[in-house]
């Protein structure tokens, strides 16, 4: 079965990211995916000696994070928007690795007052630099889809957008990988 990991990128006290990640997980077709949540609250600030591009991970937490990303077939990143961008823990998590992101299908689910459009756009640029395959994004808007406290009442439009993103991830995972010469 295909492995889908949902990353909770907010680590602040009182965060609603886990609630949104659980909602995303509930939308995933159970017949297609085995879903697991990855919470960045346990990943320390980058502390490896060598550059991630070299892949010489020394710290146990880096090796564990690398393994989780590598073994996933696709990833959904759930991110709030802080000050018109994404929070530092997801940038930190991306910066820990390099090769593990290469061609990894990723969908972005933002949340905030404007649906986290700035955060997901910025995050897509960063993920593009590490050669991840961002299939798209959707954003839950405070007071329309989710309350600032995390009560979810997601509009049919956002549900349909997430369904399309999940279909795109499934298609990417099913596509045969062709070698380039």
CATH of residue 35? 3.40.50.360
Total Cβ atoms within 10 A of residue 12: 12
Q: pLDDT confidence of 178, banded at 50, 70, 90?
A: low
Matching residue, tokens 């889809």:
145
Q: What is the mean pLDDT of residues 41-49?
A: 95
Residue 180 lies in a domain: no
Q: Could you write out the DSSP letters of every residue in 106-172?
A: EEEEEEETTTTHHHHHHHHHHHHHTT-EEEEEEEEEBTTTB-TT--B---HHHHHHHHHHHHHHHHH
Q: Model-level pTM?
A: 0.95
pLDDT at 175: 72
Residue 181 lies in a domain: no
pLDDT tens-digit map of 57-69: 999 999 999 999 9
Asked whether the predicted pLDDT for residue 165 surpasses 90, the reply is: yes
The residues near 15 (Cβ < 8 Å, ≥ 6 apart) are 8, 80
Among positive and negative, which fits the CA dihedral 36, 40, 45, 46?
Answer: positive
Asked whether the predicted pLDDT for residue 154 surpasses 90, the reply is: yes
Asked whether the predicted pLDDT for residue 104 surpasses 90, the reply is: yes
**79 neighbors 110 (Cβ within 8 angstroms):** yes
Asked whether the predicted pLDDT for residue 176 surpasses 80, the reply is: no
Q: How many domains does the chain have?
A: 1
Domain around 143: 2-174
Residue 179 lies in a domain: no
The residues near 44 (Cβ < 8 Å, ≥ 6 apart) are 61
């Amino acid at each position: 079965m295909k492995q889908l990991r949902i990353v909770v990128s907010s680590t602040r006290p009182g965060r609603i990211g886990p609630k949104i990640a659980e909602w995303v997980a509930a939308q995933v077709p159970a017949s297609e995916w085995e879903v697991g949540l990855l919470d960045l609250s346990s990943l320390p600030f980058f502390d490896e000696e060598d550059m991630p591009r070299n892949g010489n991970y020394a710290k146990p937490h880096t090796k564990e994070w690398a393994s989780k990303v590598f073994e996933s077939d696709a990833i959904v990143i759930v991110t709030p928007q802080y000050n018109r961008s994404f929070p530092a823990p997801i940038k930190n998590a991306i910066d820990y690795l390099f090769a593990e992101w290469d061609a990894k299908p990723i969908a972005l689910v933002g949340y905030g007052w404007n649906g986290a459009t700035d955060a997901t756009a910025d995050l897509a640029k960063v993920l593009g630099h590490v050669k991840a395959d961002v299939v798209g994004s959707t954003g839950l808007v405070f007071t329309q889809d989710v309350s600032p406290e995390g009560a979810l009442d997601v509009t049919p439009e956002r549900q349909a957008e997430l369904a399309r993103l999940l279909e795109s991830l499934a298609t990417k995972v099913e596509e045969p990988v062709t070698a380039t010469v």
